[in-house]
Amino acid sequence: MSTSPIVETSILSIDRPFRLESGEILSEVNIAYETYGELNKTKDNAILIEHALSGNAHAAFCHKGETKPGWWDVMIGPGKAFDTEKYFIICANVISGCNGTTGPSSINPATGEPYALTFPPVTIRDMVEVQRLLLSHFGIERLKSVVGGSMGGMQTMQIFCDYPSLFDSFICIASAMRHSAQQIAFNEVGRRAIMADPRWNGGNFYGEIPPEGGLSVARMIGHITYISEKMMQEKFGRLRKGKDSKAVFRPSFEVEHYLDYQGIAFVRRFDANSYLYITTAIDNFDLVSSISGSTRLRGENRARGRGFDTLRKKKGLVISFTSDWLYPSQQSHDIVRFFSGLNVRVSYAEIATDHGHDAFLTDYEQLSLIVSSFLDSPNELSRL
Amino acid sequence: MPTIREKTQNIIEDWIAPQSRVLDLGCGDGTLLSRLTQRKQVDGIGVEISRDMIVKCLGKGISVYQADIDHGLSQWDELSFDYVILTATLQVIHRPYHVINEMLRVGRCAVISVSNFGYAANRLGIMLKGRMTDEMRLTGDWHDTPVIRFVCLCEFIRSLSEMGVDILDARFFLPFDLAVRTKIPLDNLIVKEAIFMLGHNR
């Protein structure tokens, strides 16, 4: 992938107070983002990409001096599903993240110290509100689409429902309108692993050795849920490696080494407190209750008790994967049902794969076929 | 001369009221739905099992839902549609009664086409070949053809009355490009294909 063009992450600094859904206020917010392709003169060819739990703004292309491209490079680029010759692609790191956008590891300007757990709790809606600041920065008032997988799908649905007139369409991949008890349970085990690590120290570990043990266990649990049982069996089975080790409980199975590797690779690039904040935002997400009722503080139709007339006839695409047991297809069926009820013209595709939840990152060939035919199709057939 | 498929589509286009909500089961590449959308401004969605067909529908701007019709309609609430269409796929459905009942649950009317197994040419074909003809199988050999239901016109009409379903309108296709609106004598022998508009006395 050394042919990928070069990109760098930019930072947009917002120097005015940002009010979170909780009511708490951040005196300033930095937004890390990358863009690919060119914004056209009419500023209507933009597509907003929403990243998942462990993602970041680096969705495609390569950073200077690196050979590993961004996390969705297979989907974004010239001639790819999100064609940078046609579209202006934007991806921003979420608030409470740890890759440039303000989060618990950022310095609190009031104290000169990292926020740690004084960072206010965030919601999926806070994440997309921050992205709106970025869209305003570019002067974009209308986007071709918004797309995301997993937690990115949650942001996609939230911003599409809150600001329907911003978008022509949405694409929601392997996601859910709310977490099930099982999904919350897996996240909670991950959080507990971090908090049980003495190095976590109530979140105050900056400048010290971070809670690597806890965070890597959290990541290992995650990775078990991201792939299917079948794939894990085919990839590792009962294969062993490193038999020469003398320690009693050294990892000996291949699968143990794999998880170990994933855990270690993760602690190098991710902040344990960000993991707590983001997984909590995911667990608290509930699309239906967030967009209904008179308590809404954000969004176009806020607190007016109005319906979602602006959603009418807009297009949506929902995609799930047959072997995804973390975000099973039924949750995507529920999404289709919900948006159909709001008169959005929703399409649904279920991709046959053994790759589990991770398929949204790996099964790009099938995904590209579906996504590009959706994006390139006419909006209003009757006007042909 | 238009094929029966084209004639069927013409009839459906005549039947369907403008701006109605339409669900097309086994919508294939979305030809019928794009025609109905363009000419009748319907609000349509297709159900299709094949990934390749899904891609074609999406490319045309047709909304499509990937599912197996045999278990696919629980997704929709009662009376979500004015018309639910099932053309040229009845023979491949495992649970036709279930599907017809579901069509009339989610839709006000059901439009169903039936290829008559009792048609004279089929009888002749079996007599001469001693097996199902290729036309009957649509595609494939005896072991892999999708066609598993060989229904004739008289049985289908009997089933409708057993299910308490009313025939609101119908067209019966005869040889030599003829089509009639009403049941005729010897219909199980001379009707090649029929299309019904069905409904419930609610």
Note whether A347 contacts B: Cβ–Cβ < 8 A. yes
Enumerate the CATH 3.40.50.1820 domain ranges in chain A, comma separated. Answer: 10-179+286-383
Residue in B with minimal Cα distance to A348:
B65
The fold of the A10-179+286-383 domain, in CATH, is Rossmann fold (3.40.50)
- The three-state secondary structure class of A11 is strand
Ranges A7-16, A186-195, A336-345: which has the least confidence: A336-345
Query: Which residue of B56, B59, B66 is in closest CB contact with A349?
Result: B66
For residue A137, what are its two tokens?
């920065």
pLDDT tens figures, B96-115: 999 999 999 999 999 999 99
For residue B182, what are its two tokens?
């009403």
pLDDT tens figures, A143-168: 999 999 999 999 999 999 999 999 99
* Every domain of chain B and the residues it spans: 4-199
Note whether A379 contacts B: Cβ–Cβ < 8 A. yes
Q: Tell me how close the Cα of B110 comes to any Cα of chain A, in angstroms.
A: 20
Q: What is the mean pLDDT of residues A235-259?
A: 85
State the pLDDT at residue B175: 87
CA distance B78 to B158: 25
Note whether B195 contacts A: Cβ–Cβ < 8 A. no
In this prediction, the residues of chain B whose per-residue pLDDT falls under 50 are none
Contact A333 B75 (CB under 8 A): yes
Note whether B50 contacts A: Cβ–Cβ < 8 A. no
What phi, psi does A62 have (nearest 5°)?
A: -120, 145
pLDDT band at A138 (very low <50, low <70, confident <90, very high): very high
pLDDT band at A383 (very low <50, low <70, confident <90, very high): very low
Query: Which residue of B59, B62, B63 is in closest CB contact with A376?
Result: B59
Q: How is residue A107 annotated by DSSP?
A: E
pLDDT tens figures, A219-245: 999 999 999 999 999 999 999 887 666
Contact B66 A315 (CB under 8 A): no
Active site residue ranges of A:
150, 324, 357
For residue B22, what are its two tokens?
């339409």
Instruction: Please tell me the pTM assigned to this model.
Output: 0.93
Closest CA to A81 of A372, A349, A361: A372
Terminal C-alpha separation, chain A: 40
Given a cut of 50, whether residue A305 has pLDDT beyond it is no
Residue in A with minimal Cα distance to B40:
A382
Percent of chain B residues past pLDDT 70, beyond the cut: 99
Note whether A330 contacts B: Cβ–Cβ < 8 A. no
Beta bridge partners of B114: B194
CA A294, A299, A301, A304 dihedral sign is: positive
pLDDT tens figures, A7-49: 999 999 999 999 999 999 999 999 999 999 999 999 999 999 9
CA A273, A210, A70, A363 dihedral sign is: negative
Given a cut of 70, whether residue A296 has pLDDT beyond it is no
Residues in chain B with CB shorter than 8 Å from the CB of A349 are 51, 54, 58, 64, 66
pLDDT band at A4 (very low <50, low <70, confident <90, very high): confident
Residues in chain B with CB shorter than 8 Å from the CB of A348 are 64-67
Contact A349 B56 (CB under 8 A): no
Contact B57 A376 (CB under 8 A): no
Q: ipTM score here?
A: 0.91
CA distance A371 to B16: 31
Closest CA to B23 of B135, B121, B105, B126: B105
Residues in chain B with CB shorter than 8 Å from the CB of A346 are 63, 65
Q: Tell me how close the Cα of A352 comes to any Cα of chain B, in angstroms.
A: 9
pLDDT band at A304 (very low <50, low <70, confident <90, very high): very low
Note whether A340 contacts B: Cβ–Cβ < 8 A. yes
Given a cut of 50, whether residue A384 has pLDDT beyond it is no
SS (H, E, C) chain B: CCCHHHHHHHHHHHHCCCCCEEEEECCCCCHHHHHHHHHHCCEEEEEECCHHHHHHHHHCCCEEEECCHHHHHHHCCCCCEEEEEECCCHHHCCCHHHHHHHHHHHEEEEEEEEECCCCHHHHHHHHHHCCCCHHHHCCCCCCCCCCCCCCCHHHHHHHHHHHCCEEEEEEEEECCCEEECCCCCCHHHHCCEEEEEEECCC
| A212-226 helix and A181-196 helix, angle to the nearest 10 degrees | 160
List the alpha helices (DSSP H) in chain A.
124-138, 151-162, 181-196, 212-226, 229-235, 254-269, 272-284, 287-291, 329-341, 359-362, 364-375
CA angle at A8 for the pair A3 and A9, rounded to the nearest 5°: 140
CA distance A267 to A270: 5
Percent of chain B residues past pLDDT 90, beyond the cut: 78
The CATH code for residues B4-199 is 3.40.50.150
The fold of the A184-279 domain, in CATH, is Rna Polymerase Sigma Factor; Chain: A (1.10.1740)
